[in-house]
Amino acid sequence: MKNGILKRTAKSIHNDQSYPTLVQFGNNIFMQEGKFSIELDYSKIIKIYYLKYSYLLMFTNSNGIMVKYDSFTKGNFEDFKEFIKENCKKAKIIVKNKNYIFGL
């Protein structure tokens, strides 16, 4: 998915406004962007894309949550990789960044 498409989609959801995105990982995945929010169980993640600078956690064939490697305010990416590996065991892994080995 191209970054421009993501930005246009987000702006169309929010009437051309731009809002920061908050994603929290606990008992469930919680995402909030402006007035829009969603809460998902980890079992709903069907695919995980390993991209150059982020993971994309897909919960439908066309909807997902992007998690940038350098965007953590609590914890770190290495811990997150292990956490997702344990909690999304049924998700199909798709590696789009062949230059980086994730060890999953």
Bridge partners of residue 69, in order along the sequence: none
pLDDT tens, position by position, 12-63: 655 667 778 889 999 999 999 888 899 999 999 999 999 888 899 999 998 8
If one compares 81 and 13, the residue with the highest pLDDT of the two is: 81
Two tokens, residue 50 = 């390993």
**pLDDT attached to residue 98:** 66
Count Cα atoms within 13 angstroms, Cβ side, for 48: 23
**pLDDT attached to residue 1:** 44
Q: What percent of the chain has pLDDT over 70?
A: 78
**pLDDT attached to residue 88:** 96
Bridge partners of residue 48, in order along the sequence: 57, 93
Residue with tokens 């191209």: 2
Characterize the bridge pairing of strands 29-33 and 36-40.
antiparallel
**pLDDT attached to residue 95:** 87
If one compares 33 and 6, the residue with the highest pLDDT of the two is: 33
Domain boundaries, the chain: 3-95
Bridge partners of residue 49, in order along the sequence: 56, 94
Q: From the DSSP assignment, how many helices (H) and strands (E) are in the chain?
A: 2, 7
pTM of the model: 0.76
Two tokens, residue 10 = 């987000």
Can you name the CATH fold of 3-95?
Answer: PH-domain like (2.30.29)
